[in-house]
Structure 1
Amino acid sequence: MQSTINRQKTALTVSQLNREAKSLLESSFFQIRVLGELSSFSRPASGHWYFTLKDDRAQVRCAMFRNRNMSVRFSPKEGDQVIITGKVSLYEGRGDFQLIVDSMESDGEGKLQQAFEALKAKLSSEGLFSSAHKKSIPSHPNHLAVITSPTGAAVHDILSVLKRRFPSLPVTIYPSVVQGSEAPQQLIQALQAAIHHQTADLIIIGRGGGSLEDLWPFNDEALARAIFDCPIPIISAVGHEVDFSISDLVADLRAPTPSAAAELISPDQDALRIQIDRLSARLERQLRISLNQRQDHLNALKKRLRHPGERLREQRSRLDFAEKRLHALIQKQLTKARYQTDIAARQLERHHPARQIEHMRERLNRADEKLRRAMVNQTDRQRYQLGNLLTRLNAVNPLATLERGYAIVQAVDVDKRSPSGVTNGPVITHANDVKIGDQVINRLRHGNLICRVEAINSQESINSDEAIPSSNNLNSPANTVRNDKEPS
């Protein structure tokens, strides 16, 4: 009896076994990719897909729920060769081994996906996707270049959005096919033309949605490198939101759709006003609802209180107080909204280009005036220094000394080549340098005197009376200088 009880305690129920097996499978296998052929494909009213994936030796049941199969970009059918991505699981109710599918692609798309991943890894290792190389997108572009098919939906969507939001933006369309083997080269040529014209400061390149094969030109390596080397910022808008291409990764910005790209670059001038109006309407609506609710509540209280009294007055007082608080809150919110609007308007006015230009012009005028004052001051200082130098130079100028009545005495050298027959010799600084009868040249401020020495006084110092002969002794021998020749 005891042995039977122990066996019952250690035995698993069928549901426990299936639950443990499911847990073990889901924890042992993470997301996997499986290649096989579709079989027993069914689409019940629930929107889920149930099918069998098989090859020539085995098969496995699969389930793909509605929220996942909506992203499949082709219509699967019996016999299709597909690659599914999902996780291993077990259906507990029947104990069936199955795959829960997250995504499905045709076998051809699988090869393209492999090529996409290989090119993505290559360009990523070279740094083409690095954010350090991304150029900033201008918030207010001056000229837009659009590289796409001129007959496709993408160009129509872009122009429609710009016409509605930013009609003054100039747009140049560079036509190119966006599908097929010739598309990459034409896209590169259109990009080079936009760079050569040098008119656009922003480029949108892209197309509408399609299959992976349709979008494949935007996974071209040469096009990716041309986008990377482009000096103009580029927005890539290829396909739908779920589509990703190499162009999206290498461009300066990716937009989920062409319309979204146009939305991104077109400033909405009325956005703030619309938002304020929407908030104001919402606030008014909420206040009206609140007031109606309170009024209904008050009416209910009136019906319940057949005999008005102190309680009714108290309730009315509380209602009045709540209404005042509500009005005060409304006023406060409206004041706050107006204040924020005024701040935004002042900031916009302060950053207006005209204000900036005026500010820079004032700074330039002040700098010009400061430079002029500095030049005048520098000129005055240089003129003052030049005057001082001239004064100092005049002080040591020998001609200034001669101006006060002094003379320079020089010996006479005979020079037959000179018209006068004599030339200036060395300066005589001592009486012993000459003897009586020698000729000397006295250099005055105006002209020279050739004189003959009649007497010599070799005393080192003489008083003022001896230095300057009086008028009564001018004819004495010691002060007589004979002028043999006319001054030169």
Structure 2
Amino acid sequence: MNSSESIYSVSQLNREAKRLLATHFMTVRVEGEVSNFSAPSSGHWYFSLKDAQAQIRCAMFRGQQQRLGFKPGNGDLVVVNAQVSLYEPRGDYQLVVEHMEQAGDGALRLAFERLKNKLLAEGLFDDSRKQGIPPIPRQIGVITSASGAAIHDILTVLQRRFPAVPVVIYPVAVQGDSAKSEISAALELANRRGETDVLILARGGGSLEDLWAFNEEVVARAIAASRIPVIAGIGHEVDFTIADFVADLRAPTPSAAAEHAVPSQTEWLGGFKFMENRLLEKLRRQLTQQQQRLDWLNKSLQLQHPGEKLQRNAQRLDELELRLQKSSRQTLWQATQLLALNSQKLRRFQPTAKIFQHRQTLDFYRQRLQRAMQLKLFSLKQQQNGIGQTLHAVSPLATLERGYAIVKQQSSGQIVKSAADIVENDLLETRLAKGRIVSLVKKIIPD
């Protein structure tokens, strides 16, 4: 070994390598996929950037993260501005990241969210500023590519649903650098001409990058400034663009946009038929009511006719004359009847006749009373004799005289009707035709 050759320590070598890297590369932009991402409690980020053949360690310190609008994750494709450096303690070659942005689709989505939030804050998405779609437009404007599938789908739907409405096509590029300018210019042209009642802004499906013209701010502001209602039918149902949020109505597809622009001719004609039937029915009811009213007025007029009134009054006069004659005859007959009745009453209440009548009545009642008293006395005597005989026949004493006796329990006074009513040693009182006997039960013999 030549003693004149310099010998580096590990620390010196790593330090010198770090200086050379920093001096040679200055700031570099590197694109790669994030992997092995970690965010310890210090707030710094540590990860690797890789492509198909290699990877490099990266560090992004907390102070540099504040300017970012997102937090990366494993699998994200990013572009970083970084200093090429070397971590001396381990001798690891690394990038110290100063700035990071999403690459490809991720960058577009970040731009999408930024513009969306900006326009949302300005109120361009508010429902209060959106215009209503006319039920039947006088003429429809379509802003789309003249050669794409979207225009074919839109015209097919319009022809099927309501072919009577004419269509004006404003051909534009829907993809590429010139698309945003052509679309915004077409919106301004349609408003300047004022020949349509509604505009359909449409294109078929595609990637976020394919649809990007409809996420440009100039297009969004042209839609918001349109005095003609705009229906957006861009991409497929899952695709959302800034134009969808600003438009007066968002349809999931170009075909759906066409369906929203016009009603169904069949349903519309059916509605006309329904209204025609209702109108005819209402007219029939009105005619019926007016005919009934006319009949009533005609009858009322007839009743108010002078000849009719004279006829009714003449009939009324005849009726009153007949009633007067009848009332006079009735009054005369009643007076005659009352006179005869009073004369009869006067004759009936003369004193001589009444005295004679009362004497005859008194003699009659005296004879009836004497006969009734005699008959009553005889009847009472007969009844008394019969009752006495009956009482003697049913009297217990008469039964006792024939040899029978009445037996009672001395303690309770209950009459003994059966040997089962007493027990041995009971005291019994036996009544005979003459006298009573008190006995003690020694033995009971049932039947």
Tell me the TM-score normalized by structure 2.
Answer: 0.40
By relative contact order (CA 8 Å, sep 6+), the higher-ranking structure is 2
Select the structure of larger CA radius of gyration. Answer: 2
Normalising by structure 1, we get a TM-score of 0.37
